[in-house]
Structure 1
Amino acid sequence: MKKPQWLIVGAGAIGLFWACKLQKLGYSVHLVYRSTSPKKKITLEALANEDGQQKITSSEHKIKSFLAQDLSKQYDKVLLCTKAYDLVDAFKQVSDHVTEDATIACLCNGMGAQAALQKALMPKQILWAGTTSEGVLKINENHIKHTGLGDTYFGQWLKDTETKDFPLDSFVVPNIHQRLIEKLAVNAAINPLTALFSIHNGDLLEEQFHPLLNATLTELASVFTNPKFIYAEQSKHLTLDNLTNRVNTVAQLTRLNRSSMYEDFRLQRPTENEFISGFLVENSPVELPIQSLLYNGIDFPLLSEEIKKKLLSMT
């Protein structure tokens, strides 16, 4: 019997990780890359729990990879693992090879890109938005390392459309918008601050950053608990205490890591700023002076030193 097939778009750390994961689950996988081919075999250094102990195992996975223009068949299951700003364009590059009733899933940071992707789909194509806390590091084009155990969730983006079973039912949750907002809240605190101040995640917990981090979290709580926020029903539990616990836990667990925004900002690459701080500034029912400064600091690097001084003077 022919194995069900997934098309994965995006050969970054998460895309390669899910290519290996889906193959382990018994699926056939084709992978689309943009610039650097992952070659025929992907090496995965996997992190697993065995009797309460974390253990690294290494495995090789033969995955067929293509440029988008070289695809020749039709796919009814697609997983997009791209940066938020690339999501819609990445789908459009493969859309001619996607069936009109396909299951489309995506894993990206922030909010806003999912709604834009939904608008690009055909009427019978169902979007499943996802979020993950798995830690994965890309060593080179065909070698990834699982650096932190986490959870991955998918949920149907539009609940008032036709309900369709998701092939990976063990990852399905009914409240995906809540999960996405929770991830957004953590990202909005950790990512721009670590990027602007060039610090590891754990450094945010040092005493010198306590006033700024607390002010940032207080401001975020004012959005998420505001009944006029567009996702108020999914975010009202994100009080200051709740946010503080979440951010402190993530910063501690990933204390030696650099956030993805820090890496992108440091290397002068595009960031997901528009879908994190930008989304909040645009959709908040209240003024967000700290998030506005963070947004501008990332978007306009020449202003970053001045903005850092402003942020520190506000606390």
Structure 2
Amino acid sequence: MKNTPWLVIGAGAIGLFWACKLEKLGNKVHLVYRSESPGKKITLESLTDEEGQQQVSESKHKIKSFKASELTDQYDKVLLCTKSFDLKDAFLQIADHVTENADIACLCNGIGAQEELQSTLLDTQTLWAGTTSEGVLKIESNHIKHTGLGDTYFGQWRTQSEPKEFPVDNMTVTNIHQRMIEKLAVNAVINPITAIFNIHNGDILNDEFKPLVEATLTELSSVFTHPQFSYAQESQHLTSENLKNRVHTVAQLTRLNRSSMHEDIRLHRQTENSFISGFLLANSPIELPVQRLLYNGVAFAEQREEVKKKLLSLP
């Protein structure tokens, strides 16, 4: 892969982290921000080393940052790190600066936004959907903290395309849809519950939430193992026990973290509810009363107290 610059879209925690990571791997990186410029240097503070051992270190990364309207170059490698609901519009703002055979990657929560983005691309461009479990916090506009090591994978969104390698080594997978469904399943439990009840991720393991978590997992497994679910081929293995193990592991590993949905509600920002619970409600072949309650509890602040009571009284 020729060493042309990466264009990273989004100056949130994940966008800044990936700009630093790509630069650290020897790439030239240009970053597009929307409202707050990170300046010319980004500080990356790490709390763990590459082996996951606790070790605080700090590095500075020189990254050129622009507003979309200031771009002049053409890019053949683009990484979009935006919220799901911003994905398509963020790409359209820079589409004139993307080559006709470019690799276009996205890291966002949920499912649905990827297909919206795919519909805007040329047939000669390749869309890579990604999923990551890296833990990152944004401290200031040019300062992020890497709080936990995780894995990141990218796969071609259109599986009928000729198989290619992602332009970063050791991140290509062929089963990206399966990995995204697995992440969606975990997000559909942790995100709405922590957001509605204003709790940390690990708190969902407390006794008071056990019946709610169990009911959510049972309902989700009935969707994922249903032969008429739209991603049935990738989700059959997600039984209630499998889901329980995944959710408990993530909740335990990130027990002191606050989910992105929790933070969005706390800061009165738009959430990715439509691409998580909303995606499930729109694509499930069966009724999902628990997921409907979780969706409503996030979407409608005025219903939240009533939804809480209903969720806590689930058998």
SS of residue in 1 equivalent to 2:44:
strand
**Structure 1 residues 255 and 230, CA gap change in structure 2 (3 angstroms):** same
2:145 aligned partner: 145
- Asked whether 1:243 is paired with 2:243, we answer yes
**Structure 1 residues 50 and 83, CA gap change in structure 2 (3 angstroms):** closer
TM-score of the superposed pair, with normalisation by structure 2: 0.97
- Asked whether 1:194 is paired with 2:182, we answer no
1:101 aligned partner: 101
TM-score of the superposed pair, with normalisation by structure 1: 0.97
Q: Distance in 2 between the 1:286 and 1:33 partners?
A: 41
Question: Deviations along 1:156-179, whole A, 9 cap, x unmatched?
Answer: 000112433321131111100010
Q: Would the aligned equivalents of 1:126 and 1:164 in 2 still touch at CA under 8 Å?
A: no
SS of residue in 2 equivalent to 1:155:
strand
Q: Distance in 2 between the 1:3 and 1:235 partners?
A: 37
Q: Would the aligned equivalents of 1:45 and 1:58 in 2 still touch at CA under 8 Å?
A: yes
Q: Would the aligned equivalents of 2:111 and 2:184 in 1 still touch at CA under 8 Å?
A: yes
Q: Distance in 2 between the 1:207 and 1:45 partners?
A: 35
Q: Would the aligned equivalents of 2:4 and 2:75 in 1 still touch at CA under 8 Å?
A: no
Instruction: Report how far residue 50 of structure 1 moved.
Output: 5.9
Instruction: Report how far residue 51 of structure 1 moved.
Output: 6.3
2:267 aligned partner: 267
**Structure 1 residues 154 and 141, CA gap change in structure 2 (3 angstroms):** same
Identify unmatched segments of 5+ residues in structure 2. Answer: none
1:88 aligned partner: 88
1:122 aligned partner: 122
Instruction: Report how far residue 108 of structure 1 moved.
Output: 0.3
1:72 aligned partner: 72
Q: Would the aligned equivalents of 1:41 and 1:63 in 2 still touch at CA under 8 Å?
A: yes
Question: Deviations along 1:182-230, whole A, 9 cap, x unmatched?
Answer: 0000000000000001111111000011001100111011111111111
Q: Distance in 1 between the 2:47 and 2:127 partners?
A: 29
Identify unmatched segments of 5+ residues in structure 1. Answer: none
**What is the Cα-based RMSD across aligned positions, in Å?**
1.2
Question: Deviations along 1:33-76, whole A, 9 cap, x unmatched?
Answer: 00000011000012443666332211000100000000001000
SS of residue in 2 equivalent to 1:137:
strand
Question: Deviations along 1:87-144, whole A, 9 cap, x unmatched?
Answer: 0000000001001111000000000001111001111110000000000000000000
Instruction: Report how far residue 21 of structure 1 moved.
Output: 0.4
- Asked whether 1:4 is paired with 2:7, we answer no
Give 1:218's aligned amino acid.
T
1:15 aligned partner: 15
Q: Write the mapping of 1:140-179 to structure 2, written as runs, cut at 5 A.
A: 140-179=140-179
Q: Distance in 2 between the 1:201 and 1:169 partners?
A: 31
Give 1:65's aligned amino acid.
S
Q: Distance in 2 between the 1:53 and 1:264 partners?
A: 30
1:135 aligned partner: 135
Q: Distance in 1 between the 2:47 and 2:106 partners?
A: 23
Q: Distance in 2 between the 1:242 and 1:23 partners?
A: 37
Q: Would the aligned equivalents of 1:47 and 1:149 in 2 still touch at CA under 8 Å?
A: no
Kindly, what percent of the aligned residue pairs are identical?
A: 69
